[in-house]
Amino acid sequence: MADLSTKTCDECGSTYFAETSAMANLCPECAHRLYGYANYDHRLEDGQCLACGWDGSRSKLIARLISSFMPGPASPA
């Protein structure tokens, strides 16, 4: 493995690779949901994204944001 440093997201509590996020203390997913930064095309495998290290966690706030952006039928897993 390269020397990817792992950080913990302040919002969702997931770990992520520090280099993948534009925000100092947010994973790419939360940075995208909260601040509109480019998101990753997450590829979750064995409970962790191969691209950014995010573990799929979503805080209540993020979940609410997502559901308000996408009303209607249940969102895909």
Residues in the site for Zn ion, rule: CB under 5 A? Answer: 9, 11-12, 27, 30, 40, 42, 49, 51-52, 54
Closer residue to Zn ion in complex, CB, 46/54: 54
Cβ at position 54, least distance to Zn ion in Å: 4
Burial class (CB in 10 A: 0-12, 13-18, 19+), 74: exposed
Closer residue to Zn ion in complex, CB, 3/41: 41
Q: How far apart are CA 27 and CA 10, in angstroms?
A: 8
Closer residue to Zn ion in complex, CB, 35/70: 35
Q: What are phi and psi of 7, to 5 degrees?
A: -125, 170
